[in-house]
Amino acid sequence: MHSNYEPSSIVIISLPILLCAVCPHQDWTSYFLQSFQEIVEKEAPGLMKEAEKFLVLSNIDRLWKEHLQAIKFVQQAVSLRGYAQRDPLIEYKLEGYNLFLDMMAQIRRNVIYSIYQFQPVMVKNQQQMQKESKGSGSDGSASPVGAAQAS
């Protein structure tokens, strides 16, 4: 499964390419992503690219830190394999490579899941909220949320 990923060829790629790599036989993933991007771009231009960049970088950062901790553990554990007549350096390289491939697969999976869960919410500025709360407060049927925000 992991044999087609080489460490020297790892680059950050765009989300549609990433989706096609994970689900090559399903055209609906790219269709869904394209329509979702169009909707978000209508409401807030540039928001989707910023969200993608944030989600990719935060996942890479978190998983890279976990990977480094796992490598420290492997470094300590591999030294015991010398007693089993195995070369510790070869074992360390093999374990490290497998951990790296697992980390890359986890990054892809987490980023795709995060993009699907991304729900942009338009935040009204403070002046609009005050105007709405004053307008709804005059008829006596103000909502508790509006009253709490106005005070």
Instruction: Identify which of 4, 7, 36 has the alpha carbon closest to the alpha carbon of residue 100.
Output: 7
What pLDDT is attached to residue 12? 44
What pLDDT is attached to residue 72? 93
- Surface-to-core class of residue 17, CB atoms within 10 Å of its CB (0-12 exposed, 13-18 middle, 19+ buried): exposed
What pLDDT is attached to residue 105? 95
Q: Give CATH for domain 7-120.
A: 1.10.3060.10
**One-letter-per-residue 3-state SS of 3-52:** CCCCHHHCCCCCHHHHHHHHCCCCCHHHHHHHHHHHHHHHHCCCHHHHHH
Instruction: Report yes or no on whether pTM surpasses 0.85.
Output: no
pLDDT by 10s per residue, the chain, length 151: 444 444 444 444 455 556 566 665 556 566 666 776 677 677 667 777 888 889 999 999 999 999 999 999 998 888 877 777 888 889 999 999 999 999 999 999 999 888 888 777 666 666 666 777 776 655 544 444 444 444 4
- CA 30, CA 19: separation in Å to the nearest integer? 7
